[in-house]
């Protein structure tokens, strides 16, 4: 057994298959992938990595299994999956995940190829675990897979607490001690024991407050869009191929961006926080329906159109259209009056949170500071945004409509 000091959970005891997995390259690589990517440009102390997070998820999984009384081989499988659950992340975690998916067809939780070979596969097999079944669990499949990836998984319990610790934003300070104690399996579903409606709500509320304040902070979103754009240039203009990009870590990618002229200076801009600004920031109501569903090529074409209209270099316009919000935890299950209920049925609050997520959605168009006005103007015309009655910001005139966060 090895005991590792952690700033969030104090001591983490690593043993069994996890101890052998610890020193493999796929896991150690996570030391070089930041948990929150470009969020550190807003919260400078948020430099934590997927490695410490993976240890934390492993720790909470162990605690949950112990409270649930689950032991033996199936517990080992969960612990392995918990420790390995993030090995599929590309550089800067979620920041370039869509790009990698478009080119490789893989999201970060599709790790059959990564677990199926090399030292990881060998270690899993030595411990009597089938790599494919561990990979299934990472994807949330099976009853016990819910512990690793699901509405009540230990992944989010760790990241909320850890992100709060490292950003300094207290909203993520959940009661993970209570959460792992109150988990139960009922008819194959992972649920919270009776008396825990508030416990379940607290998890959602923590994420509901962290999302706009931390994860979707507009500066982090701008930087993320720039990073994605730089990575696209790298794929298009250099010898880096998608599979190579997928296995890079943060250091590889940033140095590659900095050392490559074809990436239009995004590497330097990101390194030294010389970021684009918002030219447009629009609520969902201001956006034409078909734009909400536009695919990557369409977005690219629109960026070019905006650039043409604004008469600037096409590389200097970024159109950022987020997915429609979803709030996975709303279907968390809690025992109420002896029955398993979905939280969304039981909790008025949860229904409101869904609506709140839509209120917070924003489309962004970003450009260098000196082109901000021209690009904003052009984007409103090209995208057909509804300026009059809703919420497009007009940066040139200083009128920020009703967008309170446009400061």
Segment 312 to 351, residues that bind a copy of itself, using CB under 8 A? 334-339, 347-349, 351
DSSP line for 228-267:
HHHHHHHHHHSS--HHHHHH--HHHHHHHHHT-GGGTTHH
DSSP conformational letter for 30: G
- The yes or no reply on residue 353 touching a copy of itself (CB under 8 A) is yes
Which tokens in the block code for residue 27?
């896991």
Nearer Cβ to a copy of itself (8/378): 8
Q: Which residue stretch of 36-44, 88-96, 124-132, 224-232 sits at the interface with a copy of itself (rule: CB under 8 A)?
A: 36-44
Q: Which residue stretch of 103-111, 232-240, 249-257, 369-377 sits at the interface with a copy of itself (rule: CB under 8 A)?
A: 249-257
Among 56, 55, 74, 54, CA closest to 65: 74
Which of 173, 238, 260, 331 is the binder for a copy of itself (CB under 8 A)?
A: 173
- The yes or no reply on residue 369 touching a copy of itself (CB under 8 A) is no
Q: Which residue stretch of 88-96, 110-118, 190-198, 285-293 sits at the interface with a copy of itself (rule: CB under 8 A)?
A: 190-198
- 160-192 in b/e form (b: 16+ CB < 10 A) is bbbbbbbbebebbebbbeebbbbbbeeeeebbb
Pairing of β 339-342 and β 333-336: antiparallel
Q: Which residue stretch of 68-76, 233-241, 287-295, 352-360 sits at the interface with a copy of itself (rule: CB under 8 A)?
A: 352-360
Contact by Cβ (8 Å): 140, 148? yes
Distant-in-sequence, close-in-space partners of 10: CB < 8 Å, separation ≥ 6: none
For a copy of itself, the binding residues in 257-296 under the rule CB under 8 A are: 271-274
Q: How far is the CB of 321 from a copy of itself (least distance, A)?
A: 22
Which of 16, 74, 112, 209 is the binder for a copy of itself (CB under 8 A)?
A: 209
Q: How far is the CB of 346 from a copy of itself (least distance, A)?
A: 9
Q: How far apart are CA 200 and CA 206, in angstroms?
A: 10
Q: Under DSSP, is residue 320 helix (H, G, I), strand (E, B) or coil?
A: strand
Give the interface size with a copy of itself as a residue count (CB under 8 A): 83
Q: Which residue stretch of 4-12, 84-92, 289-297, 373-381 sits at the interface with a copy of itself (rule: CB under 8 A)?
A: 4-12
Nearer Cβ to a copy of itself (44/117): 44
Distant-in-sequence, close-in-space partners of 339: CB < 8 Å, separation ≥ 6: none
Nearer Cβ to a copy of itself (6/373): 6
- The yes or no reply on residue 404 touching a copy of itself (CB under 8 A) is yes
Q: How far is the CB of 202 from a copy of itself (least distance, A)?
A: 5
State CA 31 to chain mean position distance: 17
């Amino acid at each position: 057994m090895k005991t590792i000091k952690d700033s969030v959970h104090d001591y983490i005891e690593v043993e069994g298959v996890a101890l052998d997995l610890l020193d493999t390259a796929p896991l150690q690589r996570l030391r070089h992938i930041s948990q929150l990517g470009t969020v550190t440009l807003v919260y400078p102390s948020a430099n934590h990595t997927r490695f410490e997070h993976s240890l934390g998820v492993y720790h909470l999984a162990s605690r949950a299994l112990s409270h649930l009384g689950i032991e033996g081989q199936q517990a080992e499988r969960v612990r392995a999956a918990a420790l390995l659950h993030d090995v599929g992340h590309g550089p800067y975690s979620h920041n370039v995940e869509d790009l990698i998916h478009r080119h490789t067809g893989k999201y970060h939780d599709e790790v059959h190829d990564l677990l199926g070979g090399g030292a990881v596969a060998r270690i899993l097999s030595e411990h009597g675990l089938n790599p494919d079944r561990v990979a299934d669990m990472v994807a949330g499949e099976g009853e016990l897979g819910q512990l690793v990836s699901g509405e009540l998984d230990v992944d989010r319990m760790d990241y909320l607490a850890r992100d709060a610790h490292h950003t300094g934003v207290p909203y993520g300070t959940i009661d993970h001690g209570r959460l792992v104690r109150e988990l139960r399996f009922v008819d194959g579903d992972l649920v919270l024991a009776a008396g825990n409606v508030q416990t379940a709500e607290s998890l959602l509320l923590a994420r509901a407050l962290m999302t706009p304040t931390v994860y979707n902070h507009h500066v982090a979103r701008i930087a993320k869009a720039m990073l994605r754009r730089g990575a696209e240039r790298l794929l298009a203009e250099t010898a880096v191929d998608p599979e190579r990009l997928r296995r890079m870590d943060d250091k590889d990618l940033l140095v590659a961006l900095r050392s490559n002229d074809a990436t239009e200076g995004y590497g330097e801009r990101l390194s030294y926080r010389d970021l684009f600004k918002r030219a447009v920031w629009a609520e969902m109501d201001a956006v034409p329906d078909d734009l909400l569903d536009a695919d990557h090529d369409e977005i690219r074409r629109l960026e070019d159109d905006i650039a043409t209209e604004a008469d600037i270099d096409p590389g200097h316009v970024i159109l950022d259209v987020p997915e429609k919000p979803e709030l996975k935890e709303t279907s968390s299950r809690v025992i109420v009056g002896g029955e398993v209920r979905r939280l969304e049925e039981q909790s008025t609050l949860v229904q409101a949170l869904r609506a709140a997520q839509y209120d917070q959605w924003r489309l962004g168009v970003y450009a260098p500071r000196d082109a901000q006005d021209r690009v904003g103007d052009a984007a409103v015309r090209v995208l057909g945004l509804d300026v009059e009655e809703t919420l497009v910001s007009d940066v040139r005139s200083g009128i920020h409509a009703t967008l309170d966060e446009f400061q």
